[in-house]
């Protein structure tokens, strides 16, 4: 049985005090033995949130990680720095990074590798745009995004990662992929991995992202190849985020 996981992605929202309050409110709704819940917070607040989540079931993640180990890369945050701030996870290749900041399949693969070098679990975000879906290239896009990582990191590296399928057209739009649409792509991703390693395919967590809310979470998470969610908007409210977590 794969352990499910629900991850919040706060993106560029809130203040320090709001973040601390939100993390505290999430923790207040968890029990000691809970697992499979994390928040990816703005990097400047990582240390503040680390202090709150320490010794609680709530894990911490960065929203991005540099594609180099260290050096003259102004504005970037290294995997080592994330590790020092208590991160277990780092998002790599979120569609907002790919769309607005020029992250390419190759740089995403390099970020994936840098995270793993420091023992951080990369959460590899992949997914097609509306145009790509409408032109029937969803699977081709998924192949390219996934294969770039497999090519650079090797198939075995996927054993220590999470994959997030996030159709770009469903992110922050209120449009969710139907349960069947999401399942179809999750199954496809797992099959592509299985072609290279059945064991890794059986164990890798593939989570869905894109307008997951308390009202639709249960049906989405019930799909056989969906192992949880990456939650944007609804993760900014503790009650909603906890309700989604409890839907697992
Ligand atoms: P959303 O964001 O839940 O607001 O659609 C998901 C994401 O970008 O990870």
Look up residue 217 and give its two tokens: 């979470």
Q: How many CA atoms lie within 13 A of 147 on its CB side?
A: 9
Q: Which residues of the chain have pLDDT under 50?
A: none
Q: For residue 94, indicate whether it is catalytic.
A: yes
| C-alpha 208 to ligand 1 mean position (Å) | 9
Provide the Cα torsion 154, 183, 243, 173; round to 10°. 90
Q: Are 93 and 108 in contact (CB under 8 A)?
A: yes
Q: Are 161 and 122 in contact (CB under 8 A)?
A: yes
Position 219 scores a pLDDT of: 97
Spatial CB neighbours of 184, under 8 Å, sequence gap ≥ 6 = none
Position 173 scores a pLDDT of: 87
Q: For residue 186, indicate whether it is catalytic.
A: no
Task: Check pocket membership of 7 for ligand 1, CB cut-off 6 A.
Answer: no
Domains located in the chain, CATH noted: 5-246 (3.20.20.70)
Position 174 scores a pLDDT of: 84
Task: Check pocket membership of 220 for ligand 1, CB cut-off 6 A.
Answer: no
State CA 144 to chain mean position distance. 18
Q: How many residues does the chain have?
A: 248
Task: Check pocket membership of 229 for ligand 1, CB cut-off 6 A.
Answer: no
| C-alpha 59 to ligand 1 mean position (Å) | 18
- DSSP state letter for 170: G
Summarize pLDDT for 148-169 with one digit per residue, the tens: 999 999 999 999 999 999 999 9
Return the SS3 of 120. Answer: coil
- Catalytic-labelled residue, pool 94, 96, 128, 186: 94
Position 202 scores a pLDDT of: 98
Position 115 scores a pLDDT of: 98
């Amino acid at each position: 049985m794969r352990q499910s996981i629900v991850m919040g992605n706060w993106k560029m929202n809130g203040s320090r005090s709001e973040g601390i309050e939100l993390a505290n409110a999430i923790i207040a709704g968890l029990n000691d033995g809970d697992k499979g819940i994390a928040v990816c917070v703005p990097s400047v607040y990582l240390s503040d949130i680390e202090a709150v989540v320490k010794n609680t079931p709530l894990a911490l993640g960065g929203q991005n990680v540099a594609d180099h180990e260290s050096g003259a890369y102004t504005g970037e945050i290294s995997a080592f720095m994330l590790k020092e701030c208590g991160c277990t996870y780092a998002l790599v290749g979120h569609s907002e990074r790919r769309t607005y900041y020029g992250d390419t399949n190759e740089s995403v693969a390099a970020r994936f590798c840098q995270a793993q070098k420091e023992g951080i679990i990369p959460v590899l975000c992949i997914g097609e745009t509306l145009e790509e879906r409408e032109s029937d290239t969803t699977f081709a896009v998924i192949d390219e995004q996934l294969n770039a990582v497999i090519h650079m990191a090797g198939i075995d590296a996927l054993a220590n990662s999470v994959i997030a399928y996030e159709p770009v057209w469903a992110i922050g739009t209120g449009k969710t992929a139907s349960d069947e649409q999401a399942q179809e792509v999750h199954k496809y991703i797992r099959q592509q991995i299985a072609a290279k390693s059945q064991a890794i395919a059986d164990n890798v967590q593939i989570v869905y992202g894109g307008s997951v809310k308390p009202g639709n979470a249960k049906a989405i998470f019930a799909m056989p190849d969906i192992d949880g969610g990456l939650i944007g908007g609804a993760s900014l409210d503790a009650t909603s985020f906890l309700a989604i977590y409890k839907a697992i």
